[in-house]
Structure 1
Amino acid sequence: MNALAGVLFHFIGGFASGSFYVPYKKVKGWSWESMWILGGLFSWILVPPLAAYITIPNFMDIIRDTDVSVVGYTFLFGLLWGIGGLTYGLGVRYLGVSLGSSIMLGLSMVLGALMPAFYYFVNPSPGKHGIDYFFSTTSGLCVMVGLLVCLLGVYLCGKAGMLKEKGLSKLSGKAETEYNFGVGIVVAIVSGMLSACFNFGIESGKPMADVANQLWKSLNPGQGEFLYQNNVTYVVILWGGFTTNFIWCTYLLIKNKTYADYGKPSAPNGKNLLFSALAGTTWYLQFFFYGMGESRLGNGASSWILHMAFIILISNAWGIILKEWKGVSRPTSRAIVWGIVTIILSICIVGLAKTLE
């Protein structure tokens, strides 16, 4: 039952992550940096402490009482994760949407899932799996199979995207003038590695989540693990993510003089504020439900794989709903359908792994 609940929570989180950009499409007359930093104020600064306060009223006391090194590393990984998110755009620019996204999401999935396991193999910790777990137990092997199947699904989705981009290029008679595989692959690797740092931040900040968990369990004996224990950790991680994005967006607002967007008479500023706030809040919800899913699955690798798989699945599903694949060739259609089916299969396999423990 815990496994089913965990998969469901990860689905809701993946749906939020895969859908958060839809409200941004309704923003009119503003630059990217204008809407992005405004949405970020909600997703990184306003909503996380509000969610933490509602679920863990004394969360600031937990942060203050935590060892400085724990808070520092958690913040640092949030900072690096923010850089990974910003370089994502460069990877797409030089490799194209499909190839760039596939490489970056695939790397983030693998590194985010397995790197903590290498750490815990060298530095064992109660309740944490080392890398040997994934090759010496039935459940661990099942997780690895699910990871490989999901990567196959990512490859198929990426192949579909490349076929689509190639077809559009032929139709328009234009080539991708900014395509640069050498530069793009370096940027994509950096972005994929740094994007995985969010999971590293969760692992680094686990002592804060453990305190929240123990406090809740002492008040609610015999009721299992605290669903919202990670909410205190998110506050610190997202401080780091906000720092990176705030510096970059402020630079762009000044450089491009787009700070004037907020008072632009021709723009629907009220609606833009509403849609940016909705996008930012929806974006945060992915991690709110991620924490709930992890509390039920109890395995960082499984949770991270499911989280990434659902993001890829929902993103591609939105592409179909919004008719982004309308009119593509039959091989392209087959590739995207098989990619989605394969990712769904991987979700089932990783979900099954929990029941085999």
Structure 2
Amino acid sequence: MEQLLGIILHTIGGFSSASFYVPTYKIKKWAWETYWILLGFVAWMIMPTVGNLIVTQNAMDIYRSTAGSDLFYTYLFGALWGFGGLFAGLGIRYMGLALGQSVSLGVCSVVGTLVPAIMNNSLGRLVSTQSGWIITGGLVISIVGIVCCGVAGHLKEQTVGKGKVDGNTEFSLTKGLIIATIGGIMSACMAIAIMFGEPIAKAAVATGTAPIFMNIPIFAIALAGGFTTNFIYVAIRSRGHNYLSNLGNTKLPEFGKNYLLAILAGVMWYLQYFFYGMGSTKMIGYEFASWCIHMSSIVIFSNLWGLWLKEWKGTSRATMVYLVVGILLLIISILMIGWGNYAVGF
């Protein structure tokens, strides 16, 4: 069944996205900005080029046969997506990790699913067909699952973190909600960039690329936009610091190890969209719903990593109930969206 393969591919992508940060825990004596821009260069510039080389015969032919406006909007919304992570980070600063991340991810999931549906005139089918109702139900359950995981994370912060969020002098629920919502909307711009990149995918098939790989060339353009945004941000942050110059500081004993770990993290980061691109080709009829599956998978594996790393040790029974219920709801939402795509043919 094609939809089952699509779910598997999206799940692999979600696992890769949720796991990419793990190698960075071992990076020493580098600021976040230093390894982030190296990680980003690998993930957003080098790996998309490698991906093209693997799946296409001549990527330049694909881009030359695509209208300049389509390339521009794919790049533009990729750049806007780059701002999403920055705003989401500020939301976490004002509300704490659990609440800030939950708001951003929830908004990102809804906007990244519904806006592309509006763009390709599929929104009506979500509320007027049996398959559409199933997918809509999956989206709603996904949001509830994200909320449950967010509540669990908030309770964890209050118990294990000894109330650090409440003791944070910068804590502001109103300001945090506004900024985290903006972060979620802008993070969803990647889904919009993919929609604008559909002519690139069609050109890829026309030039001989296998249909399952047709979305891969989109990411070379969209992620270049994201790299532009992040590079400008890090360059500004580097003024008066050594964030960028540290990349060439070979005297640091951890120099080689830090490079390898950052490169590994960058490769893992890119793989989320490599598998996302393949998985969305199997969601026939409701390709835009792939975004919800992707976000749900990320939340599932992020929390499973937290369990594996014993980050939830010492939490209350109620906290674990919220977490388990949230993960189960997210799994159900993924299966429902896959079922809804399967039901299109009936």
* Residue of structure 2 in register with 1:87 after alignment: 87
* Residue of structure 2 in register with 1:178 after alignment: 170
> Which letter does structure 2 place at the counterpart of 1:198?
M
* Residue of structure 2 in register with 1:154 after alignment: 146
Select between 163-172 and 146-155 the one with higher mean Cα deviation.
163-172
CA deviation vs aligned residue, 1:53-87 (integer Å, no higher than 9, x gap):
22112111211231111111111000100000122
> Aligned-pair distance for 1:261?
2.6
* Residue of structure 2 in register with 1:220 after alignment: none
Measured in 2, the distance between the counterparts of 1:71 and 1:137 equals: 33
What SS does the corresponding residue of 1:10 show, helix, strand or coil? Answer: helix
Unaligned runs of 5+ in 1: 122-129, 218-224
> 1:171–1:132: structure 2 CA closer, same or farther, 3 Å change rule?
closer
> Aligned-pair distance for 1:227?
1.0
* Residue of structure 2 in register with 1:204 after alignment: 196
What SS does the corresponding residue of 1:297 show, helix, strand or coil? Answer: coil
* Residue of structure 1 in register with 2:214 after alignment: 229
CA deviation vs aligned residue, 1:205-234 (integer Å, no higher than 9, x gap):
1001011123337xxxxxxx6111111111
* Residue of structure 2 in register with 1:334 after alignment: 321
Measured in 2, the distance between the counterparts of 1:356 and 1:199 equals: 23
Following superposition of structure 1 onto structure 2, how do residues 286-325 of structure 1 map, counting pairs within 5 Å? 286-298=272-284, 299-325=286-312
Q: Check if 1:216 corresponds to 2:208.
A: yes
> 1:171–1:153: structure 2 CA closer, same or farther, 3 Å change rule?
closer
> Which letter does structure 1 place at the counterpart of 2:337?
V
Measured in 2, the distance between the counterparts of 1:312 and 1:58 equals: 36
* Residue of structure 2 in register with 1:101 after alignment: 101
* Residue of structure 1 in register with 2:343 after alignment: 356
Select between 250-259 and 53-62 the one with higher mean Cα deviation.
250-259
The percentage of aligned residue pairs carrying the same residue is 41
> 1:77–1:35: structure 2 CA closer, same or farther, 3 Å change rule?
same
* Residue of structure 2 in register with 1:11 after alignment: 11
CA deviation vs aligned residue, 1:113-147 (integer Å, no higher than 9, x gap):
001222223xxxxxxxx210001111110000001
Q: Check if 1:53 corresponds to 2:48.
A: no
What SS does the corresponding residue of 1:356 show, helix, strand or coil? Answer: helix
* Residue of structure 1 in register with 2:112 after alignment: 112
> 1:313–1:172: structure 2 CA closer, same or farther, 3 Å change rule?
closer
Measured in 1, the distance between the counterparts of 2:244 and 2:273 equals: 29
Is contact 1:37-1:249 (8 Å) kept? yes
TM-score by length of 2: 0.95
Structure 1 runs of 4+ off > 3 angstroms?
168-174, 264-267
1:278 to 260, 264, 267: 264
Is contact 1:29-1:267 (8 Å) kept? no
What SS does the corresponding residue of 1:92 show, helix, strand or coil? Answer: helix
> Which letter does structure 2 place at the counterpart of 1:293?
G
* Residue of structure 1 in register with 2:232 after alignment: 247
Is contact 1:29-1:261 (8 Å) kept? no
Alignment root-mean-square deviation, CA: 1.6
* Residue of structure 2 in register with 1:72 after alignment: 72
> 1:292–1:198: structure 2 CA closer, same or farther, 3 Å change rule?
same
Is contact 2:96-2:165 (8 Å) kept? no
* Residue of structure 2 in register with 1:126 after alignment: none
Is contact 2:105-2:295 (8 Å) kept? yes
> Aligned-pair distance for 1:44?
0.7
> 1:257–1:304: structure 2 CA closer, same or farther, 3 Å change rule?
same
Unaligned runs of 5+ in 2: none
> Aligned-pair distance for 1:172?
7.1
> Aligned-pair distance for 1:267?
4.1
> Aligned-pair distance for 1:301?
2.6
